[in-house]
Structure 1
Amino acid sequence: MALRLNVFGLIVADMGRSLAFYRLLGLDVPEAEDKSPHVEYVLPGGVKLTWDTIETIHSFDPSWTPASGGPRIALAFECPSPAEVDRMHAALVEAGYESHKAPWDAFWGQRYAVMHDPDGNGVDLYSPLS
């Protein structure tokens, strides 16, 4: 059997704050999960995005420490239009999340913005310009 990548996992300091961020991006994660130590969300196509609290990771890897020097992973969300990139960026900033790069028209032909989720992971918002 060939290997199949099917899970992207995020380790979070505050499950509720992280899930609230991803809900604003359109992921329909139930609010009842805000206190869970592990959450799974199946994306279209069957790939899962998961969240684990630091305490959950420490339960099986007590020596785990977060990477230093900046985020090591970035997720990218395609928006239906360039205007939606601007709207989503503004909504996330309004909700108190950190913008890394405000929307701009990238030379590769996309409207692009970069946010940080509550744990510092890069979250890109993009849409083709044409």
Structure 2
Amino acid sequence: MTPRIALIGIVTADMARSFDVYRRLGLDLPAESAGEPHFEVTLPGGLRLAWDTVETMRSFHPGFTPGAGGPALAFDCGAPAEVDAKYAELTGAGCASELVPFDAFWGQRYAIVKDPDGNTVDLFAALPG
């Protein structure tokens, strides 16, 4: 069998804070799950997105050290103005700015923020014309 991507995992120091960021990006994450050591959600199309606390990771990998960023998750915001709006919302909520919104040469409005654990969150939308 050819391997296929089935899950993207995020390791977080603060589940509730991480959930807040991803709720702002449209994910339906139940508040009561923010206290769990592991949580996952199935996205449209079947891909799963999972969160584990640092402590959970260390429970089976004692030498685990959080990195300077994990997977890059890219979110299509639908329209260029929405990239700017979502960027402002997320940076206003405490996400670090990695790259302010700009019109990229490849035809997208594009920006990058970091979630509370340093994971990259790309925001994009096709430019008109």
TM interval, shorter chain, is over 0.9
Amino acid at match of 2:89: A
Amino acid at match of 2:30: P
Aligned partner of 2:112 in structure 1 is 114
Residue 47 of structure 1: how far off its partner (Å): 0.3
Query: Using the alignment, how far apart are the partners of 1:73 and 1:60 within structure 2?
Result: 20
Residue 95 of structure 1: how far off its partner (Å): 1.3
Q: Rate the CA distance shift 1:72–1:36 in 2: closer, same or farther, 3 A.
A: closer
Amino acid at match of 1:107: F
Residue 101 of structure 1: how far off its partner (Å): 1.0
Q: Does the residue aligned with 1:46 lie in a helix, a strand or coil?
A: coil
Residue 12 of structure 1: how far off its partner (Å): 0.5
Residue 71 of structure 1: how far off its partner (Å): 2.4
User: Mapping of 1:14-33 within 5 angstroms?
Assistant: 14-33=14-33
1:83 counterpart = 2:96: no
Q: Does the residue aligned with 2:117 lie in a helix, a strand or coil?
A: coil
Aligned partner of 1:66 in structure 2 is 66
Aligned partner of 1:48 in structure 2 is 48
Aligned partner of 1:34 in structure 2 is 34
- Percent identity between matched residues is 52
1:12 counterpart = 2:12: yes
Query: Using the alignment, how far apart are the partners of 1:96 and 1:10 within structure 2?
Result: 18
How many residues are treated as equivalent by the alignment? 128
Report which stretch shifted further, 1-10 or 39-48.
1-10
Residue 73 of structure 1: how far off its partner (Å): 2.5
Residue 74 of structure 1: how far off its partner (Å): 1.0
Query: Using the alignment, how far apart are the partners of 1:53 and 1:23 within structure 2?
Result: 18
Aligned partner of 1:97 in structure 2 is 95
Runs of 4+ aligned residues of structure 1 deviating over 4 Å after TM superposition are none
Residue 72 of structure 1: how far off its partner (Å): 4.4
Query: Using the alignment, how far apart are the partners of 1:72 and 1:4 within structure 2?
Result: 19
5+ residue gaps, structure 2, are none
Query: Using the alignment, how far apart are the partners of 1:38 and 1:72 within structure 2?
Result: 16
Instruction: For residues 53-97 of structure 1, give each alpha carbon's deviation from its aligned partner in whole angstroms, at most 9, with x where no partner exists.
Output: 011111111111123xx3242110011100110110011112122
TM-score by length of 1: 0.94
Query: Using the alignment, how far apart are the partners of 1:85 and 1:119 within structure 2?
Result: 21
TM-score by length of 2: 0.95
Amino acid at match of 1:82: P
